[in-house]
Chain A
């Protein structure tokens, strides 16, 4: 089952904050966040593991709510360079047939 991301698209002015959500119908072991700019490859942002702490670097952070089986990505004081499509990838097992399943993406557009 593919994780569901919300919103599908959002437009913000530079300096505004954004929250992107990723929900799973199955118990999660890990959530991975990637950003893909148009015509480029996805770039790894961070990974959150079951039982782990909230992650973050610079003005981008994320949380992992195991009970709700969801993760949220927080972008603070957004910059023009934050524009792109954000994907969450989820794993439901930590052994055996590892398989990262990506969501449908959230397109973030930052305008001056």
Chain B
């Protein structure tokens, strides 16, 4: 079975622009979570969705938003990009409604210049 997939792999944006990151969970998994990982640090929780409903939200500004589609894939949107948004964005899927046994995708490396 295919693992969690994310697109694009790498992305370079300019300050003030908007970006959309995409994630496809493992087949059968209904829960998707998004994390931001800055170099040298652990992943920081952004959002979790289960059955298309938001189940959790981390301490991120309203510039960050997400949604989950009927096929359980998900998008993360970031508006008005700042230099500090440069990071690896990880998507994780699970067949549990909470954070149990998550499978991470390879991530999207976002660079804001």
Question: Could you list which residues of chain A lie within 8 angstroms of chain B, going by C-beta atoms?
Answer: 2, 30, 32, 40-44, 47, 87, 89, 91, 94, 97-105
What's the dominant secondary structure at chain B's contact region? loop
A97 to B45: give the CA distance in the assembly, Å: 12
B41 and A100 contact, CB distance less than 8 A: no
Inter-chain contacts of A42 with B (CB < 8 A): 43, 90, 104
Residues of chain B within 8 A of A100, CB atoms compared: 33, 45, 99, 102
Question: Interface code B28-57, partner A: CB below 8 Å = 1, 0 otherwise?
Answer: 000001010000011111001000000111
Q: Across the interface, do A98 and B42 meet the contact criterion of CB distance under 8 Å?
A: no
A44 touches B41 (CB 8 A): no
18 contacts between A and B (CB under 8 A): A2-B42, A30-B100, A32-B100, A40-B106, A41-B106, A43-B104, A44-B103, A87-B43, A97-B55, A98-B55, A98-B56, A98-B99, A99-B99, A100-B45, A100-B102, A103-B42, A104-B41, A105-B41
